[in-house]
Amino acid sequence: MYFWPMHLLSSYSLWWIIPIFLVSGLISYLFYQKEAWLSTKSKQLRIILFSLRTLSLALIACLLLGLLFEQTQFDTEKPIVLTLIDRSSSMNNYKESPLIAKRIAAYQTKLQEKLAGRFELQTWDFGKNLQPPKQGFTDRQTNMELPFEQAANQFINRNLGAVVLISDGNYNVGGHPMYSAENLPLTAVYSLAVGDTALKKDLIVANTAYNDLVFLNNNFTIEIDLEAQRLGSKTIRTDLYEDGKKIASQSSELPSQRSSQLTLQFELKAKKPGIHEYKIVVQKIAGEFTYQNNTRTVYIEVIDSRSKILLYSHAPHPDIAALQQALAGNENYEVLVKYSNDLTSIPVHTLDLVIWHDPGKGFSSEFLESLQTKKIPIWTILGTQTDQQIASKLQLGLQLDLRQQLEEIQASPNPGFALYQPDQEWLSLAPNLPPLTKRFGEARASAGTQVLLTQRVGNLQKNSPLLTFNERNQQRHACLLGEGLWRWRMVSFLKKQDHRAFDAFVGEICAYLLVKKEGSGLRVQAPKKLTSSDNCILNASFYNEAMQAITSPKISWELDFEHKKLRKGNFSTKGEFYQQQLGKLKAGRYYWKASTTHNQKKYVKTGAFIVEDIDLEQLESAARHSTLLQLADQTAAKVFTLQDYNRLIDRLEKNDDLVALRTESHQFDPLLDFLLLLLLLSALLVAEWFLRRYNGSY
């Protein structure tokens, strides 16, 4: 970094400085010509006073010209070479694996020796996530897309010269990295390839497809994809075990091809509620590369109840279709769609939740009263046909002033919302969502009403609520002040290429409304499913008769691993609540129990969860260098083997396109901002005043 000399700028011609000094001198001369007392003083004093007055007036006039100092600053940024190291466990699957760590260290040392002076060198390690520098290759998943996404964000407008990827090319989380690498323009992606691309003799349970939640007495399917490599024509047997007992078996013929795929289906019936373990075992064949990928265990929960949700509207509407599609994928819900002409046929007593779209059209007070009597939760969507009179009857927990005119309102998340934790992916989309259409008018949340989304008009943020929740007489309500949800679903798909964010948004609202409010006593929050790499945490709370959270009762817990091993302990207090850190658990089914006694009354809660052991890295027995070659071809780079890292370093060193980037910036400072000039002006005025006073002038 260095600075160019400063330049003086003004909106007026700088030649004005000359007449300014002449006029200032003339004014000073005329002023002191009239001072009779000065005629008796020395010539030297007259010259000093004249000069001080001239300089003061000239400096004031120059400041009034609005002069600016321009300072030019030049920054030089070295080209950046970013090294990405794959730390997944598939890097251990090759003959050269024991040497990989040593070769990477040698590459980094040589890179530092030869290029550190000319380049800025950075290194990132990645597996499922980006991680601090580490040793070994232990991650059980690989997200190769993630580091390129992060680099595109972190090095925007930076001089990223080259990326060096050290990997075997296998990834099993996220998409192909070449799409994220497109966001690194003019950046070559080199690779140091690891592993052998030759197929090894192996039989792999490549994939399983199943619903992890089924209903009692329903039929369900477990679909299994097998992959055979270099096995030739053989007959293999696949066994399926339920809770350790063999329940089905299939024999299959492998085609006589170097690599082949086979799909099997097991049709089963859910006969017993609870969490069930299903283990797929494919027979071992002599000479396989590994037997670890010949088995796969999945867990399926069988439940015997579903929540019935009614989507009710006067007539068909795109919002109803969007909500129906969002809820259709959740097997916990049975979704009904009814219109006002079907009102008499709606069995209200069987409903668990009603989503009422634009109740102002075809409003039925009898229907509303029946919902209120049975305390059925209602999600009300106020459309353009709902006026002030109808809205006041709905008990929405809002103070509304609705007019005839219409307006369009966008959404902004409310950071103070505390009823539940909204989906973060959905919240990130909120600023980009299209506006909803509503009746013009003000809205204010009443006491006890929680606001998830607030209204926004362009860049103007309003305090008015858009999506609210409240509870009255043990009946939960949600209210959305506008129609047009179908547009939100479309934009969600355009931004994310799927509907998961919108579906999660709708699902969270319904899940909250469907939860039956618990009274006083013990409550426990436990996970339903996690992996062996996740930390398991149990949270608990206890409420007294006044519904105050207290921590005086001692809460004990028990954890039973598949009825084989029992762990016990007591919850630790954390503020007004309880928590127990169970750490990482081995794969299997766990049954938990929490109990306590308060005022001579015993409280007990029980539940279950599953821990899955998902080791996707063992599904690949060969390296996938095609991924690396695609990245290199896309960016005009090249792939080298890891042991040939010297060739890559030489190529980087001789690449004349990787040059330092010089940026130029300009800084403009008004002359009035310079403190020294103001001090100088003050000194001139004070000096003149002092000399005049000292020499007898008043």
Among 43-52, 99-108, 157-166, 385-394, name the one with the lowest average pLDDT.
Answer: 385-394
Nearest Cα to 538, choosing from 492, 581, 574, 497? 581
3-state SS track over 233-252: CEEEEEEEEECCEEEEEEEE
Q: What is the pLDDT of residue 519?
A: 53
pLDDT of residue 664 exceeding 50: yes
The pLDDT value given to residue 520: 58
Band the pLDDT of 650: cuts 50, 70, 90. very high
pLDDT at 587 over 60: yes
More confident residue, 237 or 390: 237
Greater pLDDT, 543 or 641:
641
pLDDT confidence of residue 325: 84
Asked if pLDDT for residue 86 goes beyond 90, the answer is yes
The backbone torsions φ and ψ at residue 163, rounded to the nearest 5 degrees and listed phi first, read -115, 135
Output the CA angle 292-294-300, nearest 5 degrees: 100
The model's confidence at residue 629, banded by pLDDT at 50, 70 and 90, is very high
Q: Which of 71-85, 168-182, 587-601, 607-621 is predicted with the least confidence, judged by mean pLDDT?
A: 607-621
What is the rounded average pLDDT of the residues 60-80?
80
Q: Share the mean pLDDT of the chain.
A: 83
pLDDT at 223 > cutoff 70? yes
pLDDT at position 1 is 47
Least confident of 16-20, 476-480, 632-636, 648-652: 16-20
Helix/strand/coil percentages in the chain, nearest 5? 30, 40, 30
Greatest extent of the chain over all pairs of C-alpha atoms, in Å:
128
The structure tokens listed for 667 are 């800084």
- Please check the confidence at residue 215 and state whether its pLDDT lies above 60: yes
pLDDT at position 83 is 94
**What is the per-residue pLDDT for 305?**
65
Eight-state DSSP code of residue 159: -
Distance CA 242, CA 299 (A): 10
- What is the number of other CB atoms lying within 10 angstroms of the CB of residue 692? 18
Q: Which of 238-247, 376-385, 576-585, 632-641 has the lowest mean pLDDT?
A: 376-385
Q: What is the pLDDT of residue 5?
A: 55
**Domain 521-612, CATH among 3.40.630.30, 3.30.70.260, 2.60.40.10, 2.60.40.1930:** 2.60.40.1930
Q: Which CATH superfamily is domain 307-514 in?
A: Class I glutamine amidotransferase (GATase) domain (3.40.50.880)
Q: Mean of the pLDDT values across residues 465-483?
A: 83
More confident residue, 577 or 134: 577
281 exposed, middle or buried (CB, 10 Å; 0-12, 13-18, 19+)?
middle
pLDDT class of 555 with cuts at 50, 70, 90: very high
CA–CA gap between residue 658 and residue 186 (Å, rounded): 10
Give the per-residue pLDDT at 547.
65
Per-residue pLDDT band at 619 (split at 50, 70, 90): low
Tell me the mean pLDDT in the region 66-94.
Answer: 85
**Res 536 pLDDT > 50:** yes
* pLDDT tens digits, 291-334: 878 888 888 888 766 778 888 888 888 888 888 888 887 777 78
Burial class (CB in 10 A: 0-12, 13-18, 19+), 11: exposed
7 pLDDT band, cuts 50/70/90, is: low
| pLDDT of the residue at 103 | 93
Place of tokens 């993630």: 146
Same fold, 79-187+622-659 and 202-303: no
pLDDT category at 697 given cuts 50, 70, 90 is: low
Cross-strand pairs, 379: 355, 478
Task: Report whether CATH 2.60.40.10 matches the domain 202-303.
Answer: yes
Confidence of residue 213 (pLDDT cuts 50, 70, 90): confident
Residue 638's pLDDT band, with cuts at 50, 70 and 90, is: very high
For residues 270-291, average pLDDT: 85
Q: What is the mean pLDDT of residues 605-618?
A: 80
SS3 296: strand
**Average pLDDT over every residue of 1-13:** 61
pTM: 0.52
> Residue 407 and residue 380: Cα distance in Å, rounded?
19
Domain layout of the chain by residue ranges: 2-73+669-694, 79-187+622-659, 202-303, 307-514, 521-612
- What's the confidence (pLDDT) of residue 330? 76
Task: Say yes or no to pLDDT of 42 above 90.
Answer: no
Alpha-carbon span 129 to 5, nearest angstrom: 48
Question: Given a cut of 70, is residue 207 above it in pLDDT?
Answer: yes
For residue 642, which of 52, 107, 38 has the smallest C-alpha distance?
107
Task: Please provide the size of the chain in residues.
Answer: 698
**Model confidence band, residue 3 (pLDDT cutoffs 50, 70, 90):** very low
Whether residue 4 is predicted with pLDDT greater than 70 in this model: the reply is no
Is there a contact between 322 and 485 (Cβ–Cβ < 8 Å)? Answer: yes
CATH number of 79-187+622-659, picked from 3.20.20.70, 3.40.50.10680, 3.40.50.410, 3.40.50.970: 3.40.50.410
Give the percent of the chain with pLDDT over 70: 96
Rounded Cα gap, residues 529 and 610, in angstroms? 5
